[in-house]
Structure formats: C-alpha cells, structure tokens
Amino acid sequence: GENVEQHPSTLSVQEGDSAVIKCTYSDSASNYFPWYKQELGKGPQLIIDIRSNVGEKKDQRIAVTLNKTAKHFSLHITETQPEDSAVYFCAASRGLGAGSYQLTFGKGTKLSVIP
Amino acid sequence: EAQVTQNPRYLITVTGKKLTVTCSQNMNHEYMSWYRQDPGLGLRQIYYSMNVEVTDKGDVPEGYKVSRKEKRNFPLILESPSPNQTSLYFCASSSGGKTQYFGPGTRLLVL
C-alpha cells in the first residue's frame, strides 16, 4: 500500500518568514495530493491540493509543488502569520473509481509562527 | 450549511461495552470514511464506503464495524472496545473526487 513520509514534525518560524513542509510517497500510481490544516480542537480542513498532471499550484500565500519522478511534494507558505499556526498534514491517493479517493496521510507537521 | 456531524463529541466508556459513534453529512456525498488520529501517527483510515451498502476496510479496521444503510449516515461501531482504541476519531465525506470534508471529531477514552 501507499506510504507517506512527512518532514519536519515540528517547525517554528518568525512571523513574515516562509515555511516549507515536505512529503514523499511510495506508490507511483498516486495521482492526487491534498494538504490539510488542523487547528486545535477541529477536524482537518483542505487548504490546497494538486493532481499529478500539474507541477505547481498557488493560492495566495500558499503553494504546492509536485515532482512525480522523485515522488515528493511540498507545501510552501510565504509571509507567515500567527493564524497559520496549526498542524499540517499531507496526503497521497489514487483514484478508486467513481470519482472517489482513498487518502493516506503523513504524520503531520506542527507549525508555530512566532510573532 | 454544508457539514459533517459526529456524535457524541466526547465519550468515556469501559472495556467491552459496545458503543456506536454516529456520522451524518448533508451534502449528498457518495464517499464516506472513518479515521483515527493518534499522537505521532497522524490520521489512519479505519473503513470507507463508496456508496450505500458498499463498504471496505482501510488501514486499521481491526475491532471496528461500519454500516451504510443510508447515503447520509455512516456509523462506526465498536462491539467490544479495548483501551488501545482510545483515540480521536474523524468522519469525512466527499463527492466526485473533490475535497474530503471532515467532521469535528469524537474523543474516545476506553478504561
């Protein structure tokens, strides 16, 4: 089955600096790579995703890059703000058919943005 | 409001006492799933369902059962809970290969 490794497990940055979280996956058939943000006491919430036919995707201060050859993808957050502090999870998936996906998650990165 | 709801949010029980955690979504999603979250292990899938009466095992199904008799509901059943099932549980749903929406979580303690 799929195996997703996520690094680092904790990350502290100064407000305004950039943060980068990296993930690798093992199943070359995986074709969907979402990133989730989990705030304290809440369920994970999708912040950005990328599919295997795209190398990079950006949404305001958040970007994700994908290298299918190397089987790794990364989350980049620029101009970090205190409200970016949370646990971030990467995931990888291949389609199950009928438009459904089975996600395998990394172990998470606790990001702390220091004001 | 589009949402996934779980009940109860917190539960303390004893070993061997059957319990059910309910999950309901109001988005008419075909796909529903249960995860458990443990410190240092991230989110691991327990069971998933691609539609009514269609369920399959995830990565950690031992000790759990599910059913999908209606599209909106996907209960998680622990027939004989054990302390190693103490965890934070999340239900999620999605449709058409789009984002999975997660519920608020159920924190379970098995004594």
B95 vs A7, residue with greater confidence: A7
For B6, which residue in chain A has the nearest alpha carbon?
A43
pLDDT tens digits for range B11-32: 999 999 999 999 999 999 999 9
CA separation for the pair B26, B24 (Å, rounded): 7
Pairing of strands A109-114, A4-7: unpaired
CA separation for the pair A72, A30 (Å, rounded): 11
Tokens of A107: 């172990």
Do B59 and A44 make contact, defined as CB atoms within 8 angstroms? no
Q: Which residues of A touch B96 (CB under 8 A)?
A: 99
Tokens of B111: 């004594």
For B103, which residue in chain A has the nearest alpha carbon?
A43
CA separation for the pair A49, B55 (Å, rounded): 26
B39 Cβ partners below 8 Å, 6+ apart?
A: none
Question: Quick check: A21 pLDDT over 70?
Answer: yes
Dihedral over alpha carbons B65, B92, A5, B46 (to 10 degrees): 0
Tokens of B61: 């199904």
**Exposed (0-12), middle (13-18) or buried (19+): which is A62, by Cβ within 10 Å?**
middle
Terminal CA-CA length for chain A: 41
pLDDT tens digits for range B54-79: 999 998 999 999 999 999 999 999 99
Give A26's pLDDT tier (boundaries 50, 70, 90).
very high
- pLDDT value of position B99: 78
Quote the DSSP letter at residue B68: -
Do A99 and B97 make contact, defined as CB atoms within 8 angstroms? yes
Return the ∠ at Cα B30 (arms to B94 and A90), rounded to 5°: 25
CA distance A100 to chain B (A): 5
Q: Are B36 and B43 in contact (CB under 8 A)?
A: yes
